[in-house]
Amino acid sequence: MHYFLIKIFSWLYVISAISPIAIIFLLRLQHYVWAISIFLFALIYSNIFLKFCSKNFGDERAECDLVEIAEPKFVPMYIAYFVIALSIDDGNLCLFLIIFSGIFILVQRCKFSLFNPFVLFGFSFYEVSIKNNTGTNYKIFLISRQNIKNINELSNLIRLNDFTFLEKGRDE
């Protein structure tokens, strides 16, 4: 039951991350109250979810080669969300739900990094190249309250999905 609840809360986090599509679609239809409600839910839920995770989890470690700021790489992705939401015909709720569901499944099931624009306040986003003794090199997406400039080992990591981690703060 505990695993199921965590999965549900993680899905809500993904939904909040891709909710700009819904917000833009609703604004285009002039449903301002719904758009503002979804915006506020996504903003509040995203930050509460990360705060909860950072207090209750955090036992993974990783050695890293390189740390890069990641925010600029995700701007094109959100521009694509705007284009998608604006290109759907007015009132075509069925098409909107199909596209929204497809994006949700892609983000949830594929090797996507999970960038959530609603946690920009107080968090920084990094791409971290991981050292691996097996010869496999890969990058993870790291969400942190810290300003990471030079680090060899990351500890107290919380896994949000296979390639997205939250760093539990040193002061938490």
Residue 152's pLDDT is what?
67
Rounded to whole angstroms, the Cα distance separating 159 from 53 reads 9
Number of Cβ atoms within 10 Å of the Cβ of 86:
12
* DSSP per residue, 70-91: -HHHHHHHHHHHHHHHHHSPTT
The C-alpha angle with vertex 113 and arms to 147 and 138, in degrees rounded to 5, equals 85
**pLDDT, position 122:** 73
User: Can you tell me the distance from the alpha carbon of 93 to that of 14, in angstroms, rounded to the nearest whole number?
Assistant: 20
Nearest to 82 by CA among 127, 41, 27: 27
Binned average pLDDT, 10 residues per bin, the chain of 172 residues: 75 86 89 95 87 69 75 73 78 86 79 65 80 72 76 73 73 46
pLDDT at 50: 78
The answer to whether residues 139 and 34 touch, using CB atoms and an 8 Å cutoff, is: no
Alpha carbons within 13 angstroms on the beta-carbon side of residue 66 total 8
Q: Would you state the pLDDT for residue 172?
A: 45
Measured between alpha carbons, how far apart are the two ends of the chain, in Å? Answer: 27
pLDDT of residue 110: 67
